[in-house]
Amino acid sequence: MGEIYAILTGDIVGSRKADIQRWLPVLEESLKHYSNNFDIFRGDSFQVSVPIDRCIEAIFLIKSNIRTVEPLDVRIGLGIGEISYWDEHIKNSSGEALINSGEAFDTLDKNLIYVLSPWADWDEPTNIMLQLATELAKRWTVNMAQTVSAQIKNPQANQNELARLLNRKYQSQVSTELGNANWQKIKMTIDYCTKELFKRC
């Protein structure tokens, strides 16, 4: 097997309920955090190539950022595999990773995240765990989503530093928000699924 890539295909849930000028810059900033190789098309759909070692983390950064714009959410299909042709526009590229990403996205109904890779023994448990993590993320308030986003973008920062970044008056607010967001449980899921993926790449 050649080099393995991770492609996210997604769209904004409820995009018509909020002004595009509120959420489009948020989406662009989220995608640029991981890659300059992305397309936004059909108004509220996107495709982005992300580092394989951060592909699951990327799902939750995009989600946390979009959840700061009420009442929006995001649906994402993660596809993993080889790329046979790169175009300057990712949506015109081709290969297994892009096919898997599109199929994963098409599989979504009530689920907001789905993964598809060459390894069915990774896909099945990962999809179960990510669906549970997504259920926890559905409970995020705007403040919780902001704090989760800051934590993902600044993994080395302590809670006092995060409080300053977020203009929170007290460090305890950050601690409470991360706790109420079930961030530790979600982070454990991200780390475990990423570690298991690396065993196969």
Residues 6+ apart with CB under 8 A from 8: 46, 47, 48, 50, 55, 58, 59, 62, 76, 77, 78, 79, 101
User: Considering only CA atoms, which of 138, 146, 175 is closest in space to residue 160?
Assistant: 175
Domains located in the chain, CATH noted? 5-119 (3.30.70.1230)
| Phi then psi dihedrals of residue 197, to 5 deg | -65, -40
Q: What is the pTM of this model?
A: 0.96
101 pLDDT tier (thresholds 50, 70, 90): very high
d(CA 6, CA 9): 10
> Residue range 60-68: average pLDDT?
98
The reported pLDDT for the residue numbered 97 is 97
Residue 1 has pLDDT above 80, yes or no: no
Neighbours of 9 (CB within 10 A): 25
55 pLDDT tier (thresholds 50, 70, 90): very high
> Residue range 154-160: average pLDDT?
95
